[in-house]
Amino acid sequence: MSVILTAVATLGAIGAGSAGILYLVSQKFKVVEDPRIQEVQDALPAANCGGCGFPGCAAFAAACVSADSLEELSCPVGGQETMDRVAAILGQTASKTTKKIAVVRCSGSCEERPRQNLYDGASKCSIAAALYGGDTGCSFGCLGLGDCVDSCTFDAIHINPVTMLPEVVEDTCTACGACVKACPKDIIELRKQGPKSRRIYVSCVNKDKGGVARKACNVACIGCSKCQQVCPFDAITMENNLAYIIDDKCRLCRKCAPVCPTNSILELNFPPRKETPPAAKEKEVPITA
Amino acid sequence: MLKSFRIGGIHPKENKLSAGMAIQPIAVPEQVVIPLLQHIGAPCQPVVKKGDKVKVGSLIGKSVGFVSAQIHSSVSGTVLKIDKAMDASGYKRDAVFIKVEEDVWEEQIDRSDELVTACSLTPKEILDKIAAAGIVGMGGATFPTHVKLTPPPGMKAELLIINGVECEPYLTSDHQLMMEKSDEILVGITLVMRVLNVQRAIIGIENNKKDAVALFTRKVAAYPGIEVQPLKVQYPQGGEKQLIDALTGRQVPSGALPISVGAVVQNVGTVFAIYEAVQKNKPLVERVVTVTGKEVQRPCNLRARIGTPLTKLIDAAGGLPESTGKVISGGPMMGKALASIDIPVTKGTSGILIVPAPEAKRREMKDCIRCGKCVQVCPMGLNPTLLMTLTEYEVWDRAEKNAITDCIECGSCSYTCPAYRPLLDYIRLGKSKVNGIIRARKN
């Protein structure tokens, strides 16, 4: 009997001693973390996409807590709603952000942009881009090998097998910007999603002179600047033979699209025009972003 | 036994179809397109404008920055325009278009074939002449020669190595140049030795060019300090670091330049260009190009003016065969498949290889079977399959630790891979990314 008692007593003493040491150590080396970091992190979408510019949601939460104001910080995935919640936790106000979405600024499908040579190297845009300008006459356009698709953590961008161009799924795109960084040709851009997802943009990045661009692709921007002249809001710039619509200034009046001789300005999710538009325009609408 | 480098290496089929074909000058075309970037470094600024008259040898592109090389007109005529034109990179870049009228050369250029051995210039003057002539490494790397001949402060060359290896299969331009211009090359070597102030030079020639070895062994007797060393045929022996290892047994440390072991390597074509620039006042306006391929009617070595369209050279070799699947600028190992043949000859065009369609297609990539062949053949002692995986998953810090930047892009790994994995394509991408990261860290 005494053997059992001795064993219990000894083990009990060791246990109590260890507990004491552990308690002291945990007190001594305690890491004091602002409890709000965890709260903020819980409010974030936990996608860890890096779209905010920080490595993961935890780092973003820490940055929010330590920042003086939330002006420069925004979570593209959660949007305004999430940021408002974060602001409530921290007792600050979130800056107004507009929902953005990725747009692919190239409409050079196989039909519009004839292939001139055959690439059979490694199937990665960044490798192909380092080797040559692309398998068509346009050295600015989409290579169609899908680096953007691989980079997307939300399964929101896919290559259309018919056009061989990437298409953005509007409902799932969070504008985290991973595809923008992945594209070696800088074709993808984050733009304002616009009311009812309506937006207008120049779907071309070709900086060649008009004739050269047009020869390579039927839907290239040829830099004629007709859209710039017709724009009542000064929202269109012309640089390097290429038109660009500044989405902060654009009021979606739709004046520019019909004047474009190569149909390189796309308008998405608009109701059909009242005046009978040219037949060619209608076929563009299905080409989403 | 013949010397060679120690680590890795492969021996692809040599296929030197155009060996022994005398260098033929090709007719000056009606129009030339001279790109303003034909070297590694900053592009040149054009110094001519539309309507200007130029002669052969007139300066048309002025180098900006230290690592850059002057560009001269290769024809006489009128500047049509300065516009974008596609070059071997597959992108459109600035180039000078010149309409050819007659063939008038700048007065100071000596066009005779007479050998000029005497040279009273100081090393500095020789170096300035090399820089003024716009000479770049003619083996294909196109690194400005005057930069290479200016050792970094505190470093001193003690040995000049002349690269007559031509380890690329198919290419014969260096071989033929050695056979026809041996005296000029030897004088050129003495000039480079004076610039570097070295007493010893070794010409490395692979043993599949026995005639060149014999010719140079006979001729170097008259030139003290110059030796000839035949080498075992092995790719990539023409790589600087491999050639230094093969000839001297010294190994260039990871990330260092050849000068760190006291050696400077120059290609025979470059040495010939240096001879012409210094002794004949002739800038780099033409080069020898091998046009070859299994189905090509007349594989040949042509002397073409810079800016001549490739189509002219292909026509001179009997035209583009029906079966063509791919046209490569350079050799089959390190050359670059062209997106279009409407591009001009540049300073780095060592050959045009026309590959028949059945051979041109890459085979479908399979999974790595961990055979380790790529590791075995890598002449830099790297682990290509690991580097490819690290690039695929963008693990740049580990790629850097595994010395991805040491890769010389010889393509031995891709050549040998039984699963047809595009190892080099990935490593090249990883190398450029890691180099970018290193540069960003320095700034």
CA angle at B228 for the pair B223 and B231, rounded to the nearest 5°: 170
Distance, CA of B426 to chain centre: 23
**Nearest alpha-carbon partner for B95 in B346, B340, B352, B282:** B346
Cβ distance A126 to B340 less than 8 Å, yes or no, reads no
| Closest A-chain CA to B364 | A120
Domain coordinates of chain B in residue numbers? 123-279, 373-442
What is the number of other CB atoms lying within 10 angstroms of the CB of residue B55? 17
The CATH number of B123-279 is 3.40.50.11540
Cβ distance B86 to A135 less than 8 Å, yes or no, reads no
Taking the C-alpha atoms of residue B30 and residue B344, their distance in angstroms, rounded to an integer, is 13
ipTM, two decimals, is 0.87
Cβ distance A127 to B336 less than 8 Å, yes or no, reads no
Cβ distance B339 to A124 less than 8 Å, yes or no, reads no
Nearest by CB to B362, from A120, A127, A135: name it.
A120
Taking the C-alpha atoms of residue A115 and residue B213, their distance in angstroms, rounded to an integer, is 47
Angular region, A276: left φ>0, alpha ψ -120 to 50, beta rest: beta
Cβ distance B422 to A127 less than 8 Å, yes or no, reads yes
| Closest A-chain CA to B337 | A131
**Nearest alpha-carbon partner for B123 in B199, B200, B191:** B191
How far B139 CA sits from the closest chain A CA (Å)? 20
Burial (CB < 10 A; 0-12, 13-18, 19+), residue A16, is exposed
Q: For residue A249, give the DSSP letter.
A: T
| Closest B-chain CA to A147 | B392
Residue B92 with chain A: CB contacts under 8 Å: 133, 139, 208
CATH architecture of the domain formed by A100-282: 2-Layer Sandwich (3.30)
Taking the C-alpha atoms of residue B172 and residue B299, their distance in angstroms, rounded to an integer, is 10
Q: Are B258 and B234 contacting, i.e. CB atoms less than 8 angstroms apart?
A: no
What is the number of other CB atoms lying within 10 angstroms of the CB of residue B211? 13
Domain coordinates of chain A in residue numbers? 35-90, 100-282
Cβ distance A135 to B336 less than 8 Å, yes or no, reads no
Amino acid A277: pLDDT: 52
**Is A55 in CB contact (< 8 Å) with chain B?**
no
Which residues are bridge partners to B94 per DSSP?
B84
Q: Are B351 and B330 contacting, i.e. CB atoms less than 8 angstroms apart?
A: yes
Amino acid A285: pLDDT: 47
Q: What is the CA radius of gyration of chain B?
A: 21
CA dihedral B416, B420, B421, B427 (to 10 degrees): 40
Nearest by CB to B91, from A117, A121, A139: name it.
A139
Which residues are bridge partners to B81 per DSSP?
B97
Instruction: Tell me the count of A-B CB pairs closer than 8 A.
Output: 48
Which CATH fold topology does A35-90 show? Answer: 3-methyladenine DNA Glycosylase II; Chain A, domain 3 (1.10.15)
Q: Which residues of chain A have pLDDT under 70?
A: 275-289
Taking the C-alpha atoms of residue B56 and residue A267, their distance in angstroms, rounded to an integer, is 54
Taking the C-alpha atoms of residue B80 and residue B412, their distance in angstroms, rounded to an integer, is 43
| Closest B-chain CA to A139 | B91
Cβ distance A130 to B340 less than 8 Å, yes or no, reads no
**Is A36 in CB contact (< 8 Å) with chain B?**
no
Cβ distance B426 to A120 less than 8 Å, yes or no, reads no
Q: For residue B223, give the DSSP letter.
A: S
Taking the C-alpha atoms of residue B57 and residue B282, their distance in angstroms, rounded to an integer, is 7
Q: Are A178 and A151 contacting, i.e. CB atoms less than 8 angstroms apart?
A: yes
In this prediction the pTM is 0.87
Q: What type of residue is B174?
A: D
**Is A120 in CB contact (< 8 Å) with chain B?**
yes
pLDDT tens digits for B374-391?
999 999 999 999 999 999
Cβ distance A132 to B428 less than 8 Å, yes or no, reads no
Amino acid A220: pLDDT: 93
- What are the φ and ψ backbone dihedral angles of A243, each rounded to 5 degrees? -85, 145
Q: What is the CA radius of gyration of chain A?
A: 27
How far A61 CA sits from the closest chain B CA (Å)? 25
What is the number of other CB atoms lying within 10 angstroms of the CB of residue B325? 17
Tokens encoding A275 = 């005046």
Nearest by CB to A127, from B336, B340, B425: name it.
B425
Residue A126 with chain B: CB contacts under 8 Å: 429
Taking the C-alpha atoms of residue A100 and residue A113, their distance in angstroms, rounded to an integer, is 29
Tokens encoding B104 = 């008038």
Q: Which residues of chain B have pLDDT under 70?
A: none
How far A158 CA sits from the closest chain B CA (Å)? 20
